[in-house]
Structure 1
Amino acid sequence: MRVAIAGAGAVGRAIARELIENGHDVLLIDRSASAVKPERVPEASWLLADSCELSTLEEAKLETCDVVIAATGDDKANLVTSLLAKTEFGVPRTVGRVNHPDNEWLFTEAWGVDVNVSTPRIMSALVEEAVTVGDLVRLFTFRQGDANLVEMTLPPDSPYVGRPSGLVPLPENCQLVTILRDGQVYPPSGEQPLEAGDELLFVVSEESEDELQDLLAPRVRKD
């Protein structure tokens, strides 16, 4: 897979290293000469240019990319890069970094962003996930398909404690992804009984979240 990353700062370089380690072809783009230091990620290709310029993206052959990641520290630049990648080059997947939470509402398909990554939202969700039991916590939003990755720590009084996961009548547009228990990851085999304290990860549409909450922990929403 060929991936272009706009922004060669600490975030962009970290993403590049991870993708290269997983066998992907990575191009790092940055307009600052001080940021373009190929020795920091020697396995990547580098381009000193402004990702908001159409000529830059043409030079980068963005039409050959499977994914473009807009990871600069400037939300405006991330939006423009995503929009150009999607509308001018038909890149199948764009990921936009949200630096300021007030700008998150802009990072949608209208601006060419398939997936937005908001650091403040993720950190807040991880805090909630660590301290809440019996409450649905949204961890991530998938722009395509209008679905969310959500987590719930199953409370002891859930009506489905002790019952096989396959017998839980999940709402429409909801899928149990995995069960986390005692530091282990368990696939939702269908016969795996649920236990109090299990961390359950679901992909679910936004309109089905309340139904899922009421199903697994009805007391929480009634209090």
Structure 2
Amino acid sequence: MKVAIAGAGAVGRAIARELVINGHAVTLFERETRNIKPDILPAVTWVQADACELRDLERAQLQTFDVMIAATGDDKANLVVSLLATTEFAVNRVVARVNDPRNEWLFNDDWGVDVAVSTPRLMAALVEEAVSVGDLVRLMTFRQGQANLVELTLPDDTPLAGKPVRRLQLPRDVALVTIIRGRRVIVPQPDDALEGGDELVFIAPEEAEAELKKVVAVTL
């Protein structure tokens, strides 16, 4: 996969490093000369360019990339990069970093964002996930389809223990995508038995979250 990353700060470089390890072709766009350090990531293609400038993206032939990641420390810049990548270059997938949670509402398909990743929200969600039992915790938002990745941990004494997955009467358009049980990641089948302490991970439209919470609460 061919991936462009706007912003060669600590976050952009970390993402690039992981993608290269996983075998992807990565290009880092960086405006500031002082931040261009090819010796740190020699397997990455470094381009000195302003990813908010149309002419710079044209020179880089952004239309040939599969994914654009807007990873700068400036939310305004990330929105502009996302919009250009989608509207001018038809990049298949656009992922944008949200620095200030107050701006998260802007990061949607109106600005060309498919997936918005808010570090503060993600950290808060991980804390909630670690301590919350029986409550829905939103882990990530997929803006293109207006769907969220949500998690619920079953109490140890859940009445569902030993009962099959099919007993969960999920709302429309809600899917149980995985069950995390200790170190196991289980792709759920209708006859798989649930256990106390299971972490249930769902994909759900935002408007279905309240109903999902009610259904699971009633089931519990």
Q: 1:149 to 1:205 in 2, by over 3 A?
A: same
| C-alpha separation in 1, matches of 2:185 and 2:112 | 34
Matched, 1:37 2:31: no
Is the CA contact 1:160–1:168 (under 8 Å) kept in the aligned structure 2? no
Q: Could you tell me which residue of structure 2 aligns to residue 64 of structure 1? A: 64
Is the CA contact 1:159–1:216 (under 8 Å) kept in the aligned structure 2? no
Secondary structure of the structure 2 residue equivalent to 1:72: coil
Q: Once the two structures are superposed, what CA deviation does each residue of 1:39-63 show, in whole Å capped at 9, x if it has no partner?
A: 1111111101111111110111100
Is the CA contact 1:166–1:188 (under 8 Å) kept in the aligned structure 2? no
| C-alpha separation in 2, matches of 1:15 and 1:85 | 18
Per-residue deviation, 1:35? 0.9
Is the CA contact 2:29–2:50 (under 8 Å) kept in the aligned structure 1? yes
Alignment RMSD: 1.5
Question: Percent same amino acid among aligned pairs?
Answer: 61
Is the CA contact 1:177–1:202 (under 8 Å) kept in the aligned structure 2? yes
Per-residue deviation, 1:161? 2.8
Q: Which amino acid aligns with 1:131?
A: V
| C-alpha separation in 1, matches of 2:148 and 2:107 | 15
Matched, 1:112 2:108: no
Q: Could you tell me which residue of structure 1 aligns to residue 125 of structure 2? A: 125
| C-alpha separation in 1, matches of 2:106 and 2:209 | 23
Q: Once the two structures are superposed, what CA deviation does each residue of 1:73-117 show, in whole Å capped at 9, x if it has no partner?
A: 111111111111111111111111111112111111111111111
Per-residue deviation, 1:219? 8.9
Q: Could you tell me which residue of structure 1 aligns to residue 179 of structure 2? A: 179
Is the CA contact 1:4–1:28 (under 8 Å) kept in the aligned structure 2? yes
Give the gaps of 5 or more residues in structure 1: none
Q: Could you tell me which residue of structure 2 aligns to residue 48 of structure 1? A: 48
Per-residue deviation, 1:155? 2.3
TM-score (norm 2): 0.95
| C-alpha separation in 2, matches of 1:118 and 1:14 | 16
Q: Could you tell me which residue of structure 2 aligns to residue 170 of structure 1? A: 170
Q: Which amino acid aligns with 2:53?
A: E
Decide which moves more: 135-144 or 210-219: 210-219
| C-alpha separation in 2, matches of 1:148 and 1:136 | 11
Secondary structure of the structure 1 residue equivalent to 2:58: helix
Per-residue deviation, 1:33? 0.8
Q: Which amino acid aligns with 1:14?
A: A
Per-residue deviation, 1:205? 1.3
- Number of positions where the alignment pairs a residue of Structure 1 with one of Structure 2: 220
